[in-house]
Structure 1
Amino acid sequence: MKKLFYYSFILYIVLFPLVPSRLNWKYPITEVMLLLVLLFYLLYVLRDRNKLKAFKENFIHFIKEPVSLLMLIITCLMMLSITYCTSVLLVLKETLRFGLITGLFFIFRFECNTEFYKEKLVKLIYYPAFIVLLIGFYEKVHGFGFEDVNGLLRIEATTGNPNIYGGYLVILFFPLLILMWDEKNKKKKIFYILELVMIFLSIIFTGSRNALLAMGLGGIIISVFYIRKLLYIFIPAFIVLLQTPFVKERLNTGDAGRSQIYKIAWLVFKDHPIIGVAIGNFEAVFKEYYQRYPQYQYNPDIYHTHNIYLKFLSELGIVGFIPFILLMIFILFNSIKAVKSSSGRIRNICIAITIVNVLFWIMSIFDNIILLPKVMNFYFIMNVIPLTILSKKKENKI
């Protein structure tokens, strides 16, 4: 059973980014895969007395750590919102997603050792990502992808949306940049450079202004505070980038009705300030508010808030918003503490994770991508690393 769990776990990590989201929306392939991983894990635990004892100890530790405790609280609040929702299906869908990532977080936290993060995880994330990047380039060359209201073709690869793809690429870029900078093996270094260039170009081709903003801010942060030499690369690159017709057209586009959506989301929160309208149910009540407030009308087909903070306020109220903000704060603080508590390559990776965490505070103002699987899974997997480092440091194991 241990091997079955292990191989299903590895297979899930590899296949997850490769399964097209548009297919997954119709048939929850990746959710079923992750459910099987968790099922095999539980069977493995239950069939081994020593493993069961370790599991109980780990679970107690899990609920004592602020990040994992807050993830459990948020999952429970999501589930409880089924008692006052408009759409049960929307609640179940979002609760299942977040509950599954909480389970995956547990596995990464307690079943993966430091060597796994140093050696295997890089391959498991960046080799499949290379295939995803190739799919994106294929879309660009052959004219496939997402066509926006202005007729601009934007690539989405396997993520189902250019903005989601942009968020996924931002998560990949900065840790890989650090890995490349520290890498001594020439073949690996060349591969990392190639993948970094592909990620950078892909972010441009997504046309995601949020991802472009994150790249710019992340480039400034990492250049000023960590690798000064990168300024000689980032500054000319962004000057040239801003002159390209594709980027100019995207930057000159309006806010795509986001300001109107924000106003409607705020009205939903004002009407339901304590517990919201239930997780995922902004979509269910949007048309009602859209018709009630014609001054904010823009697009009746919008189904989310385009702002993670407004999402939690409108869907789970103050009760859900507070634990979510605390979760984001603890995740950021953990990565900062891990930077101070570690050295060498591990410290450098924690710097990259901290940069990504800062960027997602900003990116979350303009979109909900942090709760979408293609982004959410890798964001939380990445943030297990600082938590593991801090825990091992307490035990004097690193």
Structure 2
Amino acid sequence: MKVFSILKFLLVLLTFTLPLANSDLFSVFTPKLFIPNFILIFVLFFLGLNFLLSKRIAAVGFIKAVLKDWPFRLLVLLLFARILSLINSENLKQSTLLLLFYTAVIGLYVVLFFLSQKEPDFLAKIFKKVYIPTACFTGFYGLIQVLFLIIGKKLPGVLVGNSFLRVPATFYDANHLPPLLISVIPLILSLAWLQKKKSLRYFYYFVSVVLTLVIFFTFSRSGILAFGISIFFFVAYLIKFKYYQKVSLFAGLFGILILLFVLSSRTNISFVKRIASVINPMERSTSAHGLLLSGEWDLFTKNPLIGVGYGSFNEHFRGTPIGEAHAKIDPALNVRLPTHSIWLEVLCETGLLGFLPYFGFMFYLVHSLAKSVELAKNNHDRLFSAGIISSVVGILVGGIFYSYNLVYFWFFLFSGIFLARLIFIDTREIKKEEFSPEKVDFREIIPLMFIFGFSLLIIFFGIGAANLSGREAFFAVLSKSVLRDWERSWAHWWVPIYRGVDYPMKMGLNQIYVWLSSLAMFFYQINPVTPRFWSAFFGSISTLFIYVIVRKFFNIRFALLLSALFLSCPVFLKFTKLGLPYSLLIFGILLVAFGISAIFARNIKRKSVSLPINFSFISLLLPLLSLVIFKTYIFPENVLKHEVYLIGIREKINNNGNLPNIIVMSPSDTLDYHGEVPFKYVEESTLREEILKWNKGSFVFLNVEKYDSLKESFYSDKVGLRVVASSSDLLLIERI
């Protein structure tokens, strides 16, 4: 019994270490012996020890059961075909090492078969509680690698090119990461849909989005193809079994991917360019892959029965004309070439004798999973089976263009077989659920999409027609300084810089807006649109919030009417088209209002409160009231402009000691894109006449001592002056 417990522990440990497949970081004794391979040796040892210590009848019975198992038979037939193919091998050492690895893989299948016979639910627990979290942690490590690249740090294994980056996480080759993540993404979504707590559901959604992003950051063409095929099949199963509400979630995922593609197209690291390279025959990598596939097929046609020898593709391919053409594109002759295809690898190295059992095994796997989906007794089993078969099909299709010959690949395939058997071989007492089709209320979705799209059209229309005002330009300059300093020095990036001087801002809306604008400038540089993008975006979201809040209590028509009225408010439209954090504050207030209205709506539904006057009216008044408060008290119009002027003038004084004593700035003057301050130099004798021309304006009096006499000269005309900013020798005075 102790041996069996050790065996289970080692299998759990093996599952934890499956992604550790980097020869530079996780090899044991030799570069080809990874940690999971090393642990697998001990797993097989304790399996044999368990048989030696068990009763003979039990051991014989188990052996008979294994020999009757069709997947095991197919794996053994493939083993014999690979042994036979060694006749043509030109690298017996490499072939023998690969043969030992494949023999250990068959041993892993026997271990899983043994555990499925003795403790059927144990494999399901390992898969859900160990394999899925391990894959998630691996994906998040890939995200950490991306984040470190953003701040200028390159973690081990990351490959950075001129127009791409490749994130491998814990693998040596980035192409091995996508299949691991693809194997769990549909299952994580299934877990999300089965959760009753919204917090857990949204957490699983977040994890699935992160893993999806990491797949794209591997820049693996085979991985992206596998992901697309996997999601396609998963959605097809959801539609087939009428999970319509769950299908609608993929619209959001699709939108995120479109946004990722659009934004990446504005950088050197473009997913569009990467995908376009697949169909570009002139691209070096595509040409090299095409030659490899052609060479594999050519070798198969010359040795159709037993192939060129298991593990000796490199030696045979190098000596062919196609191999010589490949060497001109990829001259690294000291590197062993992989086949880059799980299917053509078997076909060219072991011929038809190896390909037929290999194909038969994969067909058995897919057929078993398809059968388990049909025979599932509850939503849990049906969604999980659909998720596994979608992942398997996606990985097998992606395998046309790459070879996945690691332990985790076989572990996932074997797990799929035994998890399918748990469903259609009734080893558990499961209460059957009645399946009812889900309904999607398009009467709710279409108005929501309409008001959001309409608000985007109204707010973003003509957003870049006018030049930036002084305050907008000031925020743009600060945002650009954050971006520039972020590229130079990570330790200081969050502090904006204006004209070479730190311009610290209190943590709040201003600072957040500066950071957001710097992100927009990273992709689209500085122009009249980028400083205003986030203001317009949050304005559109605020309009959507108005609709949602009102819809909680009233009908669709009334919600559309009030959101349209809110959108037509001139003050609101003005704020959303300015590159200033007005819309951010409105969004924050509406977010709070949305939360409060949700609480009230839930209480009303439960009949725990009586609300004669609907709370939605208060929710609508909050943003409108906030505009007045914000405009009057929180963000006076001239404050930032004055601070900009002081800084700009101070620099001019430092650069030129011969400036006139008085500098006047007209209220119509604005900053340009680079934050330059236009000045008008006025002699002291004409200052009075200049100021009296304005209804309201600002001027700078360099000599602090003259301020009192200046006030007296204007007193007779009842013209008020107010100091709005000052330094040791400089006053900024506004006429009021």
Q: Contact conserved, 2:74 with 2:358, CA < 8 A, in 1? A: yes
Structure 2 CA distance for partners of 1:59 and 1:300, relative to 1, 3 Å: farther
Structure 2 CA distance for partners of 1:34 and 1:327, relative to 1, 3 Å: same
Q: Contact conserved, 2:296 with 2:344, CA < 8 A, in 1? A: yes
Bigger CA drift: 260-269 or 286-295?
286-295
Matched, 1:247 2:248: no
Which residue in 1 is equivalent to 2:171? 159
Match of 1:354 among 384, 389, 404: 389
Which residue in 2 is equivalent to 1:267? 298
| Partner secondary structure for residue 98 of structure 1 | helix
Q: Contact conserved, 2:422 with 2:428, CA < 8 A, in 1? A: no
Which residue in 1 is equivalent to 2:45? 39
Which residue in 2 is equivalent to 1:6? 8
Q: Contact conserved, 2:237 with 2:386, CA < 8 A, in 1? A: no
Q: Count the aligned residue pairs.
A: 393
Q: Distance in 2 between matches of 1:236 and 1:56?
A: 56
Match of 1:340 among 374, 397, 417: 374
Which residue in 1 is equivalent to 2:349? 315
Q: Contact conserved, 2:135 with 2:180, CA < 8 A, in 1? A: no
Which residue in 1 is equivalent to 2:504? none
Which residue in 1 is equivalent to 2:237? 225
Matched, 1:137 2:143: yes
Bigger CA drift: 329-338 or 360-369?
360-369
5+ residue gaps, structure 2 = 239-245, 278-282, 431-736
Q: Distance in 1 between matches of 2:326 and 2:12?
A: 51
Bigger CA drift: 8-17 or 108-117?
108-117
Q: Distance in 2 between matches of 1:206 and 1:101?
A: 27
| Partner secondary structure for residue 235 of structure 1 | helix
Structure 2 CA distance for partners of 1:341 and 1:53, relative to 1, 3 Å: farther
Q: Distance in 2 between matches of 1:60 and 1:352?
A: 32
Which residue in 1 is equivalent to 2:699? none
Q: Distance in 1 between matches of 2:20 and 2:192?
A: 23
Bigger CA drift: 200-209 or 174-183?
174-183
Alignment TM-score, normalising by the size of structure 2:
0.50
In percent, how many aligned pairs have the same letter? 22
Matched, 1:105 2:117: no
1:346-397: per-residue Cα shift (whole Å, max 9, x none)? Answer: 222111111122213321211112x33343332332332113433x33x686
Q: Output the amino acid matched with 1:209.
A: R
Rg (Cα) greater in structure? 2
Bigger CA drift: 275-284 or 5-14?
5-14
CA RMSD of superposed structures (Å) = 2.6
Bigger CA drift: 378-387 or 349-358?
378-387
| Partner secondary structure for residue 250 of structure 1 | helix
Q: Distance in 1 between matches of 2:70 and 2:211?
A: 33
Bigger CA drift: 309-318 or 226-235?
226-235
Which residue in 2 is equivalent to 1:173? 185
| Partner secondary structure for residue 275 of structure 1 | coil
Q: Output the amino acid matched with 1:276.
A: G
Q: CA deviation at 1:146?
A: 3.9
Q: Output the amino acid matched with 1:355.
A: S
Which residue in 1 is equivalent to 2:317? 286
| Partner secondary structure for residue 383 of structure 1 | helix
Q: CA deviation at 1:194?
A: 3.3
Q: CA deviation at 1:300?
A: 4.4
Alignment TM-score, normalising by the size of structure 1:
0.89
Q: Which structure has the highest helix share of the two?
A: 1
Match of 1:204 among 213, 216, 226: 216
Q: Distance in 2 between matches of 1:300 and 1:336?
A: 45
Q: Contact conserved, 1:159 with 1:374, CA < 8 A, in 2? A: no
| Partner secondary structure for residue 26 of structure 1 | strand
Structure 2 CA distance for partners of 1:150 and 1:326, relative to 1, 3 Å: farther
Q: CA deviation at 1:256?
A: 4.8
| Partner secondary structure for residue 184 of structure 2 | helix
Q: CA deviation at 1:36?
A: 0.7
Structure 2 CA distance for partners of 1:181 and 1:118, relative to 1, 3 Å: farther
Q: CA deviation at 1:230?
A: 2.6
The structure showing larger relative contact order (alpha-carbon pairs under 8 Å, at least 6 residues apart) is 1
Which residue in 1 is equivalent to 2:365? 331
Runs (4+) off by over 6 Å:
none
Q: Distance in 2 between matches of 1:292 and 1:41?
A: 43
Q: CA deviation at 1:203?
A: 0.5
| Partner secondary structure for residue 17 of structure 1 | coil
Q: Output the amino acid matched with 1:347.
A: R
Matched, 1:127 2:133: yes
